[in-house]
Every structure is written in C-alpha cells, then in structure tokens.
Structure 1
Amino acid sequence: MLRERISLCVEKLGMKRLENPIFYNSPIGIRFEISEPWGDVYCNGELSPKYLQETFKKVLTIYEGLPCKFDTLLWTIYPNEYNDYGRNFLENFMEITELPLPQEKYSEMVCLDYDSDERIEKISYYWDLRTNVININRLLEEISKADIGGFSELVSAIFLFDTNLNVLFHYYDDRGLDIVSEKRETIYPLYKNYNEWILDHDRENIDKVFRNN
C-alpha cells in the first residue's frame, strides 16, 4: 500500500509522523527561500508574471538538481475548512497534474490546534508515480501562486517522496521549499550548488549538518 510505503519512508527520515513544517521535524534537511529577492508579488493589482516566473524557475532548478525519482505523491486537504462545497477539489487537482484518480484515499479526524479539542476531517490522496506520469511543471507553477490567489488547497499540502533514497520534497508555497533526506550525502549537491538560496534564518543549523560532508 502507498500509505504504508510513505509511513516507512517518514520513519527513515527521522520523523514520528508527517507533520509541517517538514524541515523542523527531520534531522537532515535544507530549507530554501524561493520568493526572494524579486520584490513585488503584485503588479497593477494583479499577480506579477515576473514574480511567478522567477519563483517557478527557481524551484524547478532545485527539483531537477535532485538525484531522485519521486515514486509517490501525497496530497492532503481539509475540506471542512472551506464553505464552497460545490467545488470539486479532486477534479481540479487531476486537471492540473494530469493524473488519474488516486490509487488510495484515507480519511481521518484530526485536531489542527494543539490547544483545542475541535476536530476536523483530513483527507489524504495517494498516487503511485511509478505507473502514472505527472505534469510536474504545471503542479509547481500552481503551488507558486496557490497562496496568492490561486488554488489554495495546494498550500503546504503536496508531498513528493522517493522511497528508495528516502527523500521528501515539500514545496509549501511561493515563499519556500523543504527537502529532507535519510542521508545527508543524497542532498549535499543541493547544499553545495544552491547554497545562496538557503534561508538565512536556518543557515547556521543547515551548515552544521552539511559543512563536514
């Protein structure tokens, strides 16, 4: 089962469970700043084409720099958060990614706030990318604008796994990207080649993990 495959990978990544922010829950990872330094998100009241182009270009460069073949995609949504129940979230996602219906679906009730007992439905959809071809460019483009006027159900909700090398790629929105790995040497080339894109706030901790490689 895909869910079991991901659970095993998450364990090997040093996490008790899959939980955002991914970077702070795994011992080996890199947090990249995607949106800077291109400035204004909007131009004349509309999303800036240059801003979107540059964020997409940057995240795609990092994606293509990985020595990975991502074999599993997980998309998580919380449909009770939204009032527009007539909107077909899954159909929209399938149109963006050009994927068929998910191979697996799992539903559970979870608490989003640790200080509250209120529970909300969480739905997880799983795709096997070994047998399905994804339009990764379109997906990354849509995530780039998901939090600034796009398909908001993509924000912090897309997880790409390489369960052979045990690498997780999590582009959460236009601001940043987390990549975590079981072994630091797997993602060390990213640390070396795109070091200037590392989020300065976390640079010191990232350097401690990778500088002695």
Structure 2
Amino acid sequence: MQLNNFMREHYHNLQLRLPLFYSWDIGIRFELGVNWKSEYDYPNNPYVLGCYNRAITLFEAIHTLNDEIFVVMDIHDVKNNRNLKRKLKNFPRYVNKSLLLKLKHEALPYIFPEDNEDGKLITHRFTLQCKTSDLNYMPLLKAICNQDLGLKPRISHSVYFININRKTIFQVYDDRGCDLLATSPAAIKDIYKKHNDWILDYDRAEIDKVFNRT
C-alpha cells in the first residue's frame, strides 16, 4: 500500500504537519517531559529518562511487532541542496540496510507555505514501509526526544509512525510531548484509559469529550 492511498482512504484532507493533534478530530496529546530542573544538565538525567520511557511505552502500546507501518521522515531544505544525502545519514541506524532499497522519496511544496514567501524551501518526504520488528525504534525515539536537549544522537526532522493495521498516526514532536491520532475513538480508547495520567492537561477537556462519548 502506498502512503498517499492510505491517507486518502483513512485520513482524507489531513496534512502531515505540525501540530497533528489540532488538525484531526480524534486524537490524544500526551506529555513526555515532566519535572524539569535546572540542574539536569547531564545525559540520562531523570527528566530525559522520563521522556524516553513515556515515548517508548506509548509506541509499544500502539504497535505490535508484526504490525505493518509507514515510517515517514520530512526534511525541510532549500531547493537543489546537494547535501540532502548527508542529512539522511542517521536513517540507516534505525533499519536494516537491505530495507533502505524500499525507501521512497517525494519532493513536496514546503508544507509551511506561510514561512516560504520567497519560495526557496521544499519538503523532502522519505517513506519506508516495514514491520515494527524491522525498526530499531527505541534509539530512534530517543534521538527525536533529544533534538532540543543538546544531546546526541538527535533527529530534528519530523518523523511520523503510521500503523497500517491499527490505522493510527503517532508522532513525538520533541521532549515535551507526542500526538496520537486514530480513525475512531474505539481504536485507541484502551490507550486513553491506560495512560490517562500522561495526557497533557491543557488539552484534557477536549480529549475527554471525544472518548466519553463512546
């Protein structure tokens, strides 16, 4: 299955761009990083370990090892940049090299047109279809959490995990939190219940409305 076909069938009119949660009616926004302290200026401090634990726990709650998934990475760059391959150097760390032959590339108009008045920017979308078991997801999630923490390795590109079987979209946007979308409340109500304490309080009222109707 192609990503575009999947999106048209299950997430019609949804554009993969930040912030996902505010662009779809059925979703949960979770808080990852909590209880930050100024003295946490070293790797693997309690704040960082808490971020990792929540991101990995939620990912594993959504994806079984046999699920078919799309891993989508958006790289925003200037047009005709010859250094694009160098910016993808981290991708092979997280999947078997043989799978990279299936990696698909699409050059898209910059997905934040309001910030591209001079037209110099473009979005490169890389998509890999694989099984969850093919993905070294733990270090990948940690690298995404690291992007604003001054830690390495880090990935500052937008990465989306789309579960073909469960029809969910999961994105860790940075150490602060992550979004989970679904095509129906029933599809993720188990996660809503089990990890209710992790829901971002700012959006809790709207999230509760969705799941308390079912």
TM-score by length of 1: 0.84
Q: 1:130 and 1:15 mapped to 2: Cα distance?
A: 26
> Does the 8 Å contact 2:76/2:110 carry over to 1?
no
Task: Give runs of aligned pairs for residues 140-151 of structure 1, distance below 5 A.
Answer: 140-150=141-151
Q: 1:165 and 1:178 mapped to 2: Cα distance?
A: 15
Deviations 1:108-144 (A, max 9, x none): 2326352652220210111111397110111111111
Residue in 2 aligned with 1:26? 24
Q: 1:108 and 1:153 mapped to 2: Cα distance?
A: 24
Residue in 1 aligned with 2:161? 160
Task: Tell me the CA shift for residue 212 of structure 1.
Answer: 2.8
1:73 aligns with 2:71: yes
> Does the 8 Å contact 1:76/1:158 carry over to 2?
yes
Change (3 A) 1:111 1:185: closer
Residue 86 (structure 2) aligned to one of 73, 76, 88: 88
TM-score by length of 2: 0.83
Residue in 1 aligned with 2:46? 50
Q: 1:151 and 1:89 mapped to 2: Cα distance?
A: 15
Change (3 A) 1:159 1:151: farther
Name stretches of at least 5 consecutive residues in structure 1 with no aligned partner.
Answer: none
Q: 1:4 and 1:209 mapped to 2: Cα distance?
A: 27
Name stretches of at least 5 consecutive residues in structure 2 with no aligned partner.
Answer: none
Change (3 A) 1:15 1:27: farther
**Would you say how many aligned residue pairs link Structure 1 and Structure 2?**
207
Residue 13 (structure 1) aligned to one of 11, 17, 23: 11
